[in-house]
Copies of this chain bind each other. A is one copy, B any other.
């Protein structure tokens, strides 16, 4: 049992706000503070995340539950869960296994920096997606 395993919460997340049963969830490196990615959770993803201690989201394109890192091995171990003032957003402080959250092989998904009118790519991939995802 993970220390983050709690099934009877004393409050409810507001899954109705977005109109599609989802809430946005931010994953942040629990040590560096870097924001790694943003994804969405439905009620099941929220429960599975708490029960397993592994960040689990809802894929809007594949319409399925998605435990981050299931394919790549780069899972996110949840160290702390925060909820915002309106109970409609989640912040996960995670240990990012493998040192990369992004499917491009980079540490953070937010690697595109606006520089004037241009996009500047920040950070090199730490793994080769073609190898990891066997594309």
Chain B proximity mask over A5-37: 1 for CB below 8 Å, otherwise 0: 011111100000101100010101000111101
Is A89 interfacial (CB 8 A cutoff)?
yes
Given A38-B89, A60-B17, A118-B10, are A113 and B33 neighbors across the interface (CB < 8 Å)?
A: no
Instruction: Please tell me if the beta carbons of B119 and A83 are within 8 angstroms of each other in the complex.
Output: yes
Which residues in A have some Cβ–Cβ distance to B below 8 Å? 4, 6-11, 17, 19-20, 24, 26, 28, 32-35, 37-38, 50, 60, 80-87, 89, 91, 102-104, 106, 109-114, 116-119, 122
* Residue contacts A-B, CB under 8 angstroms, 24 given: A4-B114, A8-B117, A9-B114, A9-B117, A11-B119, A17-B60, A24-B24, A24-B38, A26-B38, A28-B35, A33-B33, A38-B89, A81-B113, A82-B110, A82-B114, A83-B110, A83-B112, A83-B114, A83-B119, A84-B109, A84-B111, A84-B112, A85-B102, A91-B110
